[in-house]
Structure 1
């Protein structure tokens, strides 16, 4: 009987000790890109941050900060009319990016980056092809 009480106490203490670690990890996952290395990180199924604001002419750098493969793919109809389409892999349309993904085209492996310069003000919505079903979406808000 004493063994069960001891094991329960040890398990509770270990869980309490690790709680602080998971909180610290959560903070890191909220902002995996600090400094000049990147602006938007990617965890398993999220862009971090999900919404990012820049000025016209700014370049945004995405970095795959997870172990999963990702893409950065603009939604054709959800970017300003005059804006240049963007997708990792350099595809010129959402359809072309989808087609290329069949052979893993546009893939960003762990620690790889993709960048795009925004020249037209407005809101740009984008997603990750392999994680679109998990709602891995983001937006860039470009101001004058």
Structure 2
């Protein structure tokens, strides 16, 4: 995550069972928030802050109740189920801060 409001890289491909570390190398705070309706079947929802749904994560951000990945902090997520995982940064989604993890082939 960068000050240019982007995930770097924007798309990655990993094998099932891989844990991905998202690192904020900029000075601007970000989130990693899954698009709940775009998760592969059988995959668990994920969001920085440990929220159990996209709506709860959004509410928490706007209520200042967590989910923030500040400068030089990390968030780790394991990807067990093959498929395509799309995610976004809550405050910077309108600026196009989205990313994709593809698990498996």
Q: Once superposed, which parts of structure 1, at least 4 consecutive aligned residues long, lie more than 4 Å away?
A: none
- 2:91 matches 1:130: yes
Give the drift of 1:62. Answer: 0.1
Secondary structure of the structure 1 residue equivalent to 2:23: strand
Residue matched to 1:85 = 45
More helix by share: 1
Which structure has the greater CA radius of gyration? 1
Runs of 5+ in structure 2 lacking a partner?
Answer: none
Runs of 5+ in structure 1 lacking a partner?
Answer: 1-41
Residue matched to 1:4 = none
RMSD: 0.9
Q: Structure 1-normalised TM-score?
A: 0.70
Q: Structure 2-normalised TM-score?
A: 0.95
Secondary structure of the structure 2 residue equivalent to 1:99: helix
Residue matched to 2:30 = 70
Give the drift of 1:141. Answer: 0.2
